[in-house]
């Protein structure tokens, strides 16, 4: 048997998963920090330091300590970064979720161009990177992945969690029904069942307005659904935003692919994949969110990024694995 | 018809009605009517006049509340029904200062930028049977001194410089409602067409 080792992928791809966790935590911490900054700004705008309660004074001092080196006018300048992943502003540049633009278009049955423009950057990135938002930015993903780890922990200590599988196309149905209902009722309903929008909103309500709103209960139910019924079930089967990104990322340019010469069929990639995809048999499809967890876990560095518009068809068993060796030996014997 | 049959039928009918009304009573007991949004809940400045169109345009991102310096913009929760997550201002708690940041930051056409004289959140209305200077029980002028638009919005009566009179330029920001010292709030924000009707919802 001729030993032919494939080309090893660029070594930094293995560490992208850490970068992804840094990105997820940064987004989540920003969502917690921004409401505090807003509260601090209201105190500054009211010139109210002397009238604050002791705990509010503490908040004021801490916020002042961090922002004083950056700005002399916190009430105005700290408005530069506001909002959540649903819709926000970043140094005067407005960015909105494509689902927000779609839902609003459906509800108003018309196009409002500024909102559509603010969704262009996410749409463009999704066309190139596919469903990357779900893996790299979404604040709900942060909690859902921790939830997955919690389920694994419960499994280990003897409380097996169910891992049912449903049809992944269910979420396209949710998206379609959401658009139709938004058009019928004239209200952007998706905002109420879309976890990242709920998370951003509820953290703001809880910190700045003194209590959770209507969405917190719903989000806890999705966590329980993921824990008790299906792993990452909401993202896989129900999320309307995930459905929209999957459709947009159908012909994405940046894809993870298996190098069949280096693969040893260990199937760790299938076990780690949050979305229940099949990297071992080259089954990535439009659902892959380029989260790179499979690249990080691969013991033989057999997964890498390729710039292609389509997945490769199934390349068969990995060349370092038992099946391939047996097949080639029997082929030699015959 | 025999008397016994009649009595039986009456008893059965009464029983049926009682049994049928039981779920309704239970439902009323368990879920009292959602508090209807009172007229004191205003939309933020720059909002579309048609409230249905406003709800269609709003994506519920909460950005208007997140830039509001007096933190006056609140959001409907479950009690808002179809208006859930859309913003409102209750001037009795905290009033708008017409700074215009929410109009700037709104990503949709729900709030559109306009000069603050063009804002239309409603109009202030003074109950002249309650207001301290109007019933000659004191001098006040708090509403006039707080008004961000000056004498084009609220001014004193010409012959008695303590009695406030709302002018046509009032945009209904509600700062006067916030500062009014009278416990029953003789000054309220009402719809523009209601301004001459002395009818407060207390």
Whether residue B105 and residue A82 make contact (CB cut-off 8 A), yes or no, is: yes
Helix, strand, coil percentages (3-state) for chain B, rounded to 5, are 35, 10, 55
Report chain A residues whose CB lies below 8 A from the CB of B70. 42, 45-46
Tens of pLDDT, residues B95-135: 999 999 999 999 999 999 999 999 999 899 898 888 999 99
Q: To probe the interface with B, which of A183, A212, A214 has the most B CB atoms within 10 Å?
A: A214
Band of residue B35 on the pLDDT scale cut at 50, 70, 90: very low
Q: Of A84, A214, A215, which has the smallest distance from its Cβ to B61's Cβ?
A: A84
Whether residue A88 and residue B71 make contact (CB cut-off 8 A), yes or no, is: no
Residue A50 has pLDDT above 70, yes or no: yes
Question: Rounded CA gap, B129 and B148, in Å?
Answer: 25
Beta bridge partners of A95: A88
Report chain A residues whose CB lies below 8 A from the CB of B82. 185, 187
Q: To probe the interface with B, which of A99, A108, A195, A212 has the most B CB atoms within 10 Å?
A: A108
Domain B122-202 sits in CATH at 3.30.70.20
Q: Please tell me the distance in Å from A215's CA to the nearest CA on chain B.
A: 9
User: 3-state class of B80 per DSSP?
Assistant: helix
Whether residue A83 and residue B63 make contact (CB cut-off 8 A), yes or no, is: yes
Q: To probe the interface with A, which of B78, B107, B112, B175 has the most A CB atoms within 10 Å?
A: B107
Residue B39 has pLDDT above 90, yes or no: no
Q: A241, A97 in Cβ contact below 8 A?
A: yes
What confidence score (pLDDT) does residue A108 get?
92
Report chain A residues whose CB lies below 8 A from the CB of B68. 42
B101 touches chain A (CB under 8 A): yes
Long-range contacts of residues B104-107, Cβ cutoff 8 Å, at least 24 apart: B104/B67, B105/A79, B105/A82, B105/A83, B105/A89, B105/A94, B105/B63, B105/B64, B105/B66, B105/B67, B106/B46, B106/B63, B106/B64, B107/A87, B107/A89, B107/A94, B107/A96, B107/A100, B107/A114, B107/A115, B107/A118, B107/B59, B107/B61, B107/B63
Q: Of A41, A112, A205, which has the smallest distance from its Cβ to B69's Cβ?
A: A41
Question: Rounded CA gap, A229 and A232, in Å?
Answer: 9
pTM of the model: 0.86
Q: A248, A306 in Cβ contact below 8 A?
A: no
Closest CA to A148 of A301, A291, A302: A291
What confidence score (pLDDT) does residue A144 get?
96
Q: Of A82, A104, A112, which has the smallest distance from its Cβ to B66's Cβ?
A: A82
What confidence score (pLDDT) does residue A156 get?
93
Tens of pLDDT, residues B138-155: 889 999 999 999 999 999
- Ordered by start, the domain boundaries in chain A are 1-31+254-334, 97-115+125-246
Band of residue B30 on the pLDDT scale cut at 50, 70, 90: low
Tokens of A148: 């997955």
Interface of A with B (CB under 8 A): 34-35, 38-39, 41-42, 45-46, 75, 79, 82-84, 86-89, 94, 96, 100, 103-104, 107-108, 112, 114-115, 118, 185-188, 191-192, 197, 200-201, 204-205, 208-209, 213-215
What confidence score (pLDDT) does residue B23 get?
65
What confidence score (pLDDT) does residue B3 get?
86
Residue A313 has pLDDT above 50, yes or no: yes
Residue A78 has pLDDT above 70, yes or no: yes
Tens of pLDDT, residues B158-180: 888 889 999 999 999 999 999 99
What confidence score (pLDDT) does residue A45 get?
93
What confidence score (pLDDT) does residue B97 get?
93
C-alpha dist (Å) from residue B17 to B9, B24, B29, B60:
12, 11, 18, 44
| Sequence-ordered list of residues with C-beta below 8 angstroms from that of A144, at least 6 positions apart, any chain | A195, A223, A226, A232, A234, A235, A274
Tokens of A271: 């076990």
Q: Of B56, B59, B75, which has the smallest distance from its Cβ to A186's Cβ?
A: B56
**Fold classification of B39-115 (topology level):** Alpha-Beta Plaits (3.30.70)
Question: Rounded CA gap, A138 and A223, in Å?
Answer: 15
What confidence score (pLDDT) does residue B25 get?
61
DSSP B47: B
B58 touches chain A (CB under 8 A): yes
| pLDDT, averaged across chain B | 85
Q: Of A35, A82, A115, which has the smallest distance from its Cβ to B63's Cβ?
A: A82
Q: Please tell me the distance in Å from A241's CA to the nearest CA on chain B.
A: 14
Whether residue A83 and residue B61 make contact (CB cut-off 8 A), yes or no, is: yes
Closest CA to A47 of B162, B164, B70, B151: B70
Closest CA to B171 of B83, B52, B65, B43: B43
Q: Which whole number is the average pLDDT over A151-161?
A: 91
Q: Of A103, A186, A200, which has the smallest distance from its Cβ to B52's Cβ?
A: A186
Closest CA to A296 of A275, A265, A273, A315: A273
Helix axes A170-185, A98-108, angle to 10 degrees: 40
Q: To probe the interface with A, which of B59, B69, B109 has the most A CB atoms within 10 Å?
A: B59
Higher-confidence residue of A226 and A3: namely A226
Q: B102, B171 in Cβ contact below 8 A?
A: no
| pLDDT, averaged across chain A | 91
- Ordered by start, the domain boundaries in chain B are 39-115, 122-202
Report chain B residues whose CB lies below 8 A from the CB of A102. none
What confidence score (pLDDT) does residue B38 get?
46
Q: How far from chain centre, in Å, is Cα A177?
A: 22
What confidence score (pLDDT) does residue A1 get?
38
Q: Which whole number is the average pLDDT over A168-187?
A: 92
Q: Of B52, B62, B107, which has the smallest distance from its Cβ to A96's Cβ?
A: B107
């Amino acid at each position: 048997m001729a030993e032919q080792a494939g080309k090893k992928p660029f070594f930094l791809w293995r560490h992208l998963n850490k970068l992804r966790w840094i990105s997820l935590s940064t987004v989540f911490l920003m969502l917690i920090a921004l409401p505090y900054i807003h509260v601090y700004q209201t105190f500054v705008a009211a010139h109210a330091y002397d009238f604050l309660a002791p705990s509010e004074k503490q908040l004021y001092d801490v916020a002042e300590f961090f922002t004083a080196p950056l700005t002399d006018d916190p009430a105005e300048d700290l408005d530069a970064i506001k909002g959540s992943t649903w819709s926000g502003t970043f140094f005067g540049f407005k960015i909105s979720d494509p689902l927000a633009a779609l839902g609003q278009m459906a509800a108003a049955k018309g196009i409002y161009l500024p909102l559509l423009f603010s969704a262009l950057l996410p749409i463009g990135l999704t066309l190139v990177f596919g469903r990357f938002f779900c893996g790299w930015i979404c604040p709900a993903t942060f909690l859902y992945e921790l939830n997955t780890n919690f389920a694994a922990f419960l499994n280990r200590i003897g409380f097996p969690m169910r891992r049912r599988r449903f049809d992944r196309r269910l979420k396209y149905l949710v998206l379609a029904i959401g658009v139709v209902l938004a058009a019928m009722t004239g209200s952007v309903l998706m905002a109420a069942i879309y976890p990242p929008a709920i998370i951003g909103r509820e953290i703001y309500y809880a910190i700045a307005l003194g209590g959770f709103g209507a969405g917190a209960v719903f989000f806890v139910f999705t966590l329980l659904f993921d824990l008790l019924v299906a792993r990452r079930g909401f993202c896989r089967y129900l999320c309307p935003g995930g459905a929209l990104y999957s459709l947009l990322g159908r012909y994405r340019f940046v894809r993870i692919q298996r190098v069949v010469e280096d693969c040893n069929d260990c199937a760790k990639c299938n076990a780690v994949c949050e979305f229940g995809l099949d990297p071992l048999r080259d089954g990535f499809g439009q659902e892959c969110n380029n989260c790179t967890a499979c690249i990080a876990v691969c013991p033989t560095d057999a997964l890498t990024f390729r710039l292609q518009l389509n997945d490769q068809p199934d390349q068969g068993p990995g060349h370092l694995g038992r099946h391939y060796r047996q097949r080639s030996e029997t082929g030699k014997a015959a | 018809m025999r008397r016994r049959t009649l009595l039986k039928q009456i008893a059965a009918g009464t029983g049926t009605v009682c049994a049928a009304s039981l779920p309704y009573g239970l439902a009323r007991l368990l879920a009292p009517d959602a508090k209807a949004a009172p007229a004191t809940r205003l939309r933020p400045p720059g909002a579309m006049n048609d409230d249905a169109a406003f709800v269609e345009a709003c994506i519920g991102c909460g950005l208007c509340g997140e830039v509001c310096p007096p933190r006056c913009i609140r959001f409907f929760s479950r009690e808002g029904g179809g208006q859930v997550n859309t913003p409102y201002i209750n001037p009795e708690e905290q009033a708008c200062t017409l700074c215009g940041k929410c109009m700037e930051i709104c990503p949709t056409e729900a709030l559109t930028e306009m000069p603050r004289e063009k804002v239309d959140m409603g109009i202030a209305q003074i109950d002249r049977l309650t207001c301290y200077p109007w019933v000659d029980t004191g001098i006040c002028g708090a509403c006039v001194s707080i008004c961000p638009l000056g004498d084009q919005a609220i001014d004193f009566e010409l012959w008695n410089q303590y009695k406030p009179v709302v002018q046509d330029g009032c945009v209904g920001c509600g700062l006067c409602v916030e500062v009014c010292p009278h416990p029953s709030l003789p000054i309220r924000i009402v719809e523009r067409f209601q301004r001459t009707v002395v009818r407060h919802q207390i």
